[in-house]
Structure 1
Amino acid sequence: MISLMRHYLALLLWCLVMPSLWAQIPHEQAPQNVLVYVVPIEGPIAGPQTFILRRALKEAIEENVKTVVLKIDTPGGAVNDALEIIEMLEKFPGTTLAFVDNEALSAGAYIAIACDKIYMTPNGLIGSAAVVQATGQDVPETVRLKIESYLKAKIRQLSENDRYRGPVMQAMMDKAFVLEIEGKTLKPKGELLTLTASEANALYGAPPQPLLASGVASSTQAMLEQYFQKNNFVIKNFEITWSEALAKWLQGIAPVLLGLGMLCLFIEFKTPGFGVFGMLGLAALLIVFASNYVAGLAGNEEILIFLVGLLLLAAEIFLIPGTMIAGASGILMILGALVWAMADIWPSESFKITPDIFVEPLINVALALIFGLLAAILLSRFIPKSSLWKKLVLKAQVRSTKPQQNGDNTNNLFQLPPIGTRGYAATDLFPSGEIDIGGKRYQACSELGMIQKNSEVIVSGYKNFAVTVKPLRE
């Protein structure tokens, strides 16, 4: 019996110990697929390409994707957009691969050389990167020399560990430069260097090193098989959408849209009720915000702040009119969200937020505020004198001097109460707020100082799309 018990105890001990011992034995894990993002840089280089690349790179950082491929087929384009793309590539902590699918000329060559490795299709071309205007005309010499000097320094910085990349790039952009390697002249004076796939992959030096490219492949799939040396990757393709093309145009007129939005909101605050101007103002601000979101600038935090600002603004208009606290806070949050949304903030740990990234957004918002303020001043001075405004005021004055008693609590945009009409303050006037006359509410402004809620008032005039009132003293 005792022997049997010993066997049971030994079996129990074995069952308890073996799983933990088995867990400590190293086992070969199945290889996980590597996620790779592929971003097209196709056609003339312009804003939409920068938008889609920014979106892809930021998403790659957030999703911990280590490899991004730029599929390049471009005759060139705007140098400023190419420089913006190069700066974005520098901010990406992972590996960037350029796949030249047909051609990477002019600004496209800058972008390809800014990547960590370059692959080309068998018929691919890369080079001819002289600085020219977007129209194809030559840039003035002084401007050209400045841009070329900056580009050369940038390429040298990006190709410190590459033996030939810097000289090759200089040969592509400088006619006067002569590229000679091992006694062989690859580019004589007076020409711009353009390389075929075989020329870009030719080996030079000791130990042998490719002149520019790292391989030739017929497709992105074949290129990645070369790079990873195995087929354990998954490709996610990005595509330029119509919204990104629209966002580029909207960003160009962002200060104008912001200014119009501010102006419409000003008019709305100066007129009773909430109507067309309020909706137009909010729509203009939403369009600007949406364009920055599509461009890959705005994130979820900015959206949250923007929506909270809208809610506070709505509370000022519908729930607690006249306090100005909710309205002012809402406007500040909306403006802050817009400035934040326009700033190019990256989610990588190495990215540091500096005041410089907010300079351009602040300038845009400041221009919008100045435009809205000047337009509001002009409207407040001239529109009340217009025939339309006088007709509206005259209609109100020829009505019965008795307050309307229809019990309608809705705001009134055009039926202004006649001068001398009595009522009471429906809200505190600081100096703006609302008054109640015969059950109807009107946007009003105190003639002097503050008027407390429920105080009796009398209409004394009209100013800036609203009535002015003063306390009624018996």
Structure 2
Amino acid sequence: MLSVRWERFNVQGGRVWLILPLLLMLWTLLGPVGGNAAATASSPPMAAPVVVIPVQQTIESGLERFLQRSFQQAYDLGAMHIILEINTLGGSLESAEHIGQLVKESQIPTIAYVRGKAISAGTYIALNAERIAMEPGSSMGAAAVVDAEGHEVEQGKVISYWAGHMKAAAELRGRDPLIAQAMVDKRQGISLPQISREIAAGDILTLTAGEAVKVGYAETLAADRQAVYAFIGGEGHPLVELKPSLAEQVSRWVTQPWVSVVLLLIGIAGVAIELFVPGFGIAGIIGVLGFGLYFFGHYLAGFAGVEEIALFIAGILLLVIEMFVTSFGILGVLGALCLFGGVVLSAHNMKLGMANLGIAFVLAIIVVAIFVRIFKRRGVWNKFILRESLSADKGYVSTVTRFELVGQTGLAITPLRPSGTASFGEERLDVVTDGEFVAAGTEVVIHSVEGSRIVVKPRKDPLV
């Protein structure tokens, strides 16, 4: 639902009448945010709608946020029933728990319509619905717990925890809890005489649509959505399908753990490379975009607020200041802590945020090291380093050395103590002795020339 909050318009005179029609036109064109495909109408429906909510692809925090919004929208519409169209291979255990709780506590009757697969966490969500309908050829079960790499978890404590949740969801809706346990714990065999199947210990149970109906895990087979609509008695009620908005689709994609790691890697590596490889350019822009997309997605998902984003920006500023201000590392440490806090606090949970940041940081070090090695002569810091030696053999001289003066005789114009002025013909030069005092009017001879330093000695033989 799109709620409009009127702010004070600083307009003058009749200008407001130009703005209001534009706002009304925009409202008419855009309609409600959230992707209502079939509900928008110029007048409210005469009967409570049946709301269809898709539960598809991977179960993660972005989907959880979408379902929270969709259930609230169904309440606002006064829906008479909610159809959850499920087609998923599972996903996050934590998100599945939250979604299952949302379905279980729904004040509107719910039916899960399995279209394709309700595997693992998808089965748990379906079991929390009041009724289940399945499309012919669909399946449910195989709810074993796996780790991030897809390997089955063997820890008894974890298996028992998840099996308990599955059994509780089954018991809540009057279904056999042992079947739910057999979908999770392969250590428990089970006999299913209704479908003439024996599940031996070591196997995980998966039910086809027909088998699910026979064992009481689904109430009906439904070839399409209209069949489910008729099964729940939805005739005469408008059918409303809620779809993720574009922002929610972006949020779902960005908040996936592997995507978050990639975005953080791009952000860290991009900014770091920009510091060591030529001035502000492509690397810096890509790095900023990586961080921006990370926070944008988590902000849309409701995980990151203004505070986390401000904390992250403060960290960037402190690190930049540390480069130009001597703070004995204090600003650098504070900046790093702010960056770390901003990323971790904006994640779905702190443990996941720390893991994502740690992986991205290690990978970024490797990427930056490779770039610095390849482009080490082109870095911005090289502008502050004089790498060439300014030697005389390369033609660099700071002053003209007048070796032709050696041996010339002149007259000390001023006392030399040991420096002073002497004339040589028509030229007056600043000269210096080896340390001895030479009175004014004494004849001197240029003994050596060292750069701009002209060394003289008193003449031993008087001039003729």
Q: Which residue of 2 aligns with 1:159?
A: 170
Q: SS at the partner of 1:90?
A: helix
- Structure 1: where are the runs of 5+ without partners? 1-28, 203-209, 344-356, 402-474
2:325 equivalent to 1:306: no
What amino acid sits opposite 1:59 in the alignment?
A: R
User: 1:220 deviation in Å?
Assistant: 2.6
Match for residue 129 of structure 1 among 106, 126, 142: 142
Instruction: Give the 3-state SS of the residue equivalent to 2:223 in structure 1.
Output: coil
Letter of the structure 2 residue corresponding to residue 57 of structure 1: L
Q: Which residue, out of 226, 236, 240, partners 1:234?
A: 240
- In the alignment, the residues of structure 2 paired with residue 373 and residue 331 of structure 1 have an alpha-carbon distance, to the nearest angstrom, of 15
1:130 & 1:315 partners in 2: Cα distance? 47
Q: Which runs of 5+ in 2 are unaligned?
A: 1-43, 391-395, 399-464
Equivalent position of 1:83 in the other structure? 93
Matched to 1:120, the amino acid is: M
Pair 1:143 & 2:146 matched: no
Higher Rg of the two aligned structures = 2
SS at match of 1:282: helix
Distance verdict in 2 for CA 1:144–1:235, change over 3 Å: same
User: Is the partner of 2:242 in helix, strand or coil?
Assistant: strand
Q: Give the 3 Å change call, closer, same or farther, for CA 133–61 of structure 1 in structure 2.
A: closer
1:36-51 equivalences under 5 Å are 36-41=51-56, 46=58, 49-50=59-60
Q: Cα gap change, 1:221/1:340 in structure 2, threshold over 3 Å: closer, same or farther?
A: farther
Q: What does 1:208-287 correspond to in 2, within 5 Å?
A: 211-227=216-232, 229-230=234-235, 231-238=237-244, 244=252, 248=256, 249-260=258-269, 263-264=272-273, 278-287=284-293
Picking from 342, 348, 351, the partner of 2:347 is 342
SS in 1 for 2:172: coil
Cα drift, residue 214 of structure 1: 3.1
1:109 and 1:126 in contact (8 A); partners too: no
- Matched residues in 1 for 2:357 and 2:147: separation? 28
Structure 2 CA distance for partners of 1:252 and 1:113, relative to 1, 3 Å: farther
Distance 2:51 2:326 in 1: 54
Mark the CA change 1:90 to 1:392 in structure 2 (over 3 Å): closer, same or farther: same
Root-mean-square deviation (CA), in Å? 5.5
Asked whether the equivalents of residues 51 and 240 of structure 2 are also in contact (C-alpha less than 8 Å), the reply is yes
Task: Measure how far apart 1:211 and its partner are.
Answer: 1.3
What is the aligned-residue identity percentage? 21
Alpha-carbon contact 1:257-1:288 (below 8 Å) kept: no
Superposition pairs of residues 35-434 of structure 1, within 5 angstroms: 36-41=51-56, 46=58, 49-50=59-60, 53-60=63-70, 63=73, 65=75, 69-73=83-87, 76=89, 81=91, 83-92=93-102, 93-94=105-106, 97-105=111-119, 108-121=122-135, 123-127=136-140, 129=142, 131=144, 139=152, 143=154, 148-173=159-184, 174=186, 177-179=189-191, 187-190=197-200, 194-202=206-214, 211-227=216-232, 229-230=234-235, 231-238=237-244, 244=252, 248=256, 249-260=258-269, 263-264=272-273, 278-292=284-298, 296=301, 298=303, 301-302=305-306, 306=309, 310=313, 336-343=341-348, 357-365=349-357, 393-394=385-386
The DSSP-based 3-state class of the residue aligned with 1:188 is: strand
Count matched residues: 332
Q: Within 2, Cα distance between the matches of 1:386 and 1:137? A: 44
Q: Partner residue of 1:415?
A: none
Alignment deviations for residues 183-227 of structure 1 (CA, whole Å, 9 cap, x no partner): x6854353765545455345xxxxxxx812233333234424433
1:310 touches 1:330 (CA, 8 Å); kept in 2? no
Distance 2:374 2:115 in 1: 60
Q: Which amino acid aligns with 1:53?
A: L
Q: Which amino acid aligns with 2:309?
A: F
Q: Is the 8 A contact 1:89 1:114 kept in 2?
A: no
CA distance in 2, matches of 1:31, 1:279: 53
